[in-house]
C-alpha cells in the first residue's frame, strides 16, 4: 500500500511547490532563461539521485537504454512548464489555473485511454467528465 501512496504524496507536494515557484518567476525574466536554470538544477539533482539510488548500476548503460519517449518527455515537460509560467504572467490565479488545466487534462485522458489503450468508457467516466465541466463552471463564476 505504501508503494501506491507515496508517489501520490510526492506528486501533490511537489505540484504545490511547483505552482508557487512558477507563479513567483519574475515577470520581467525571460521564461526560457528561467527554464535553462531550472533544468540545469534538475540535471544536477537527477544525476546525484541516480547515484544515490542506482545500487551500483552503470550510468552510461542506463543512458544507452534511452528511447524516443525520454527525449519527447523532455520537450513536452518544457512545454508544460513554459505554459504554466506564461499563464501566470498573463494573470491566472494560482487557485484556479492548475484546477482548470487538470480538469481539461482529465477529460482528454479519458479519450486517450479509450482510443490509444482501448480502456473502456463507462457511465461513471461520463459522469466524471460532467462533474469536471460543472466544477470549471463554478470555479470561473
Q: What is the pLDDT of residues 22-68, one digit of tens each?
A: 999 999 999 999 999 999 999 999 999 999 999 889 999 999 999 99
Q: What is the pLDDT of residues 64-84, one digit of tens each?
A: 999 999 999 999 999 999 999
SS (H, E, C) the chain: CHHHHHHHHHHHHHHHHHHHHHHHCCCCCCHHHHHHHHHHHHHHHHHHHHHHHCCCCCHHHHHHCCCHHHHHHHHHHHHHHHHHHHHHHCCCCCCCHHHHHHHHHHHHHHHHHHHHHCCCCCHHHHHHHHHHHHHHHHHCC
| Prediction pTM value | 0.85
Amino acid at each position: 500500500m505504501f508503494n501506491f501512496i507515496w508517489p501520490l504524496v510526492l506528486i501533490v507536494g511537489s505540484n504545490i511547490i511547483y505552482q508557487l515557484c512558477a507563479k513567483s518567476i519574475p515577470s520581467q525574466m525571460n521564461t526560457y532563461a528561467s527554464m535553462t536554470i531550472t533544468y540545469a538544477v534538475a540535471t544536477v539533482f537527477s544525476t546525484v539521485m541516480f547515484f544515490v539510488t542506482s545500487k551500483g548500476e552503470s550510468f552510461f548503460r542506463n543512458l544507452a537504454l534511452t528511447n524516443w519517449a525520454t527525449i519527447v518527455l523532455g520537450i513536452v515537460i518544457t512545454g508544460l512548464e513554459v505554459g504554466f509560467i506564461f499563464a501566470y504572467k498573463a494573470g491566472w490565479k494560482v487557485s484556479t489555473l492548475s484546477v482548470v488545466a487538470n480538469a481539461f487534462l482529465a477529460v482528454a485522458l479519458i479519450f486517450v485511454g479509450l482510443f490509444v489503450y482501448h480502456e473502456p468508457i463507462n457511465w461513471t467516466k461520463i459522469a466524471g467528465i460532467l462533474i469536471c465541466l460543472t466544477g470549471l463552471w463554478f470555479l470561473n463564476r
